Every structure is written in structure tokens, then in C-alpha cells.
Chain A
């Protein structure tokens, strides 16, 4: 695949993965803008987490930045509340999981790191390394941002439709 096509494909994957992720918890999000390689487009948020990934042709970090108001829309069992920081870490983990599943169809297997919470200092450090793209999404309670940093060889993306993989929500009993 030509690098520019691969980049556009990855952008679509990240946008659709993010929309699906929040839809699954009952939060409507809409992509605002195409990717911008501009650190200034990334605003700090109250809840931030990141997760590293690596594999043939790809190595980097995915970041998820969410305002508190969005977390307040997440349905919770009052008897078993979880913190916003735990939720955003789980969310960035699931976001990378969705992206990884999509990339497998393009023969780019990724290994996932463990999700980490991110404070202002960690965000600045991530941005100082340079980002490949920042994706912004509108919600009823403010904007979400997803950042992608690292190196990706877009030319390695090669669709293989004959491969079948499990999908989000699947339960396979052996």
C-alpha cells in the first residue's frame, strides 16, 4: 500500500476505533478534524493515559486525553464505583486493542504494553518526542484527543481479507 494510503487508512482506523469505544459505554463522539502534526493541537485534559506498542513496522505510543465531564457520563454501579484514572487507563488499553485487531487484517501484528496514567509532565514529555498525529473528537461534555507518536511504516500495511480473527464482543467457547 502506498504510504499516503496507509496513513489515511490508519487515520480511519483510529477514528472508527475511538467512536466505537465510546459508543460501547453509551457516549456519542464525533471526529472533529483530520490528523494534524501539531503539538499545539493537543490540550491537556483531566484524565490522560498512554500505552506503548511495537511490532514489525510500528513502534510508538497511543495517548487518550479525556475531560472529567465525559467520565461523568459513564454508567457505573454505585456499589462498585471506579476512578476516572482507572477508567481512562482501561479505555486506552481497549482503544489500542481495537486498533490492533484492525491492523491484524493488514498484516501488522502489534505487541501491546501496559496502560499508564499520564500527568501534565508526562504529556509534555510525550509531545516533546514529536507526534505523528492528533485526533480530536467532540462530545456533549468537551473534546477528547487521541495522540499517536512513534514510527510507523505505512507501506507495510497490506490487506489480507482471507484471514479471520475474533472481534470485539466475541465469546468463543472451546
Chain B
């Protein structure tokens, strides 16, 4: 599992820095993108093992990016990381094939544990 490439898509520089730091300390490689458009390009070019995805972002939000990723077909694991708590949004993400939903602010230790579980799951 160490060395697996994780893409973090979030318009917040603070979140990108904190999450990538925690994952790299845990042995993962990280990539970052500032919105859904950059995120889609990064997925195509870098083929990450997993994506951590914010919901509210400029240009393309996380749920629209999730739809574009077509993860039910590709199998790419996606975890949402957001301030949103609305059940309807969580249901939409689940329906689109996301592996989970994390509500900011999340403990970085628990986030790394969740990433390990999701990356390891078939």
C-alpha cells in the first residue's frame, strides 16, 4: 500500500496541504487539484489509486466530478471530504459509487485510517 498515489481535490489550500502532509507521512504519494476540472485532468494523466474529493468547489463541484469519473465502471475509489451533511447529497454520492463521506474537520489520523481501508478493499 505505501507508495499508492492519492489525488486530493479541494479548493482550499489549507486542506490540500494538511491532507497531503498526513498521507505522505503515512507513506502514500499525493497529487492535488483545485477543482473538479483540474481533478479530472489529473485522474486521466496520473491514474491515482484513489481520490479524496471536496463537494463545494469552483468550475466543477465534487459531485459533478464524481459523475464524470464513472467510478461504478472504472472502480476508482472516491471518498468525499466536505462540510456538507445533507442526507440527499450523501445519497447522491453513494448512488454514484463513492466509497464514503467525511465531514470536515476530520482528524487526520482517522482520515488516513479510512484511506488505508478503502485502498485495501477489493
Which residue numbers of A lie inside 8 Å of B, CB to CB? Answer: 24-25, 77, 79-83, 86-87, 89-90, 93-94, 96-98, 100-101, 104, 109, 112, 114-115, 165-174
Residues of chain B within 8 A of A79, CB atoms compared: 21
A100 touches B14 (CB 8 A): no
Question: In residues 23-79 of chain B, which contact A (Cβ within 8 Å)?
Answer: 56-58
A171 touches B106 (CB 8 A): yes
20 contacts between A and B (CB under 8 A): A77-B21, A86-B13, A93-B56, A94-B83, A97-B82, A100-B85, A112-B83, A114-B56, A166-B103, A168-B104, A170-B101, A170-B106, A171-B101, A171-B114, A172-B90, A172-B102, A173-B100, A173-B114, A173-B117, A174-B94
Interface-central residue, B85, B86, B93, by most chain A CB under 10 Å: B85
Residues of chain B within 8 A of A81, CB atoms compared: 17
Residues of chain A within 8 A of B107, CB atoms compared: 169
Give Cα distance in the complex from A89 to B18, angstroms.
15
Which residue numbers of B lie inside 8 Å of A, CB to CB? Answer: 11-15, 17-18, 20-21, 56-58, 82-87, 90, 93-94, 98-107, 110-111, 114, 117-118
A112 touches B86 (CB 8 A): no
Give Cα distance in the complex from A83 to B84, angstroms.
24
Contact with A100, one of B83, B90, B105 (Cβ below 8 angstroms): B83
Residues of chain A within 8 A of B12, CB atoms compared: 86, 89-90, 93, 115
Give Cα distance in the complex from A97 to B85, angstroms.
8
Give Cα distance in the complex from A156 to B11, angstroms.
32
Give Cα distance in the complex from A97 to B117, angstroms.
26
A90 touches B85 (CB 8 A): no
Q: For residue A52, give the distance in angstroms from its CB to the closest CB of chain B.
A: 11
Contact with B83, one of A80, A86, A93 (Cβ below 8 angstroms): A93
Residues of chain B within 8 A of A170, CB atoms compared: 101-103, 106
Known: A90-B12, A165-B85, A174-B101. Contact between A77 and B17, CB under 8 A? yes
B102 touches A174 (CB 8 A): no
Residues of chain B within 8 A of A25, CB atoms compared: 105
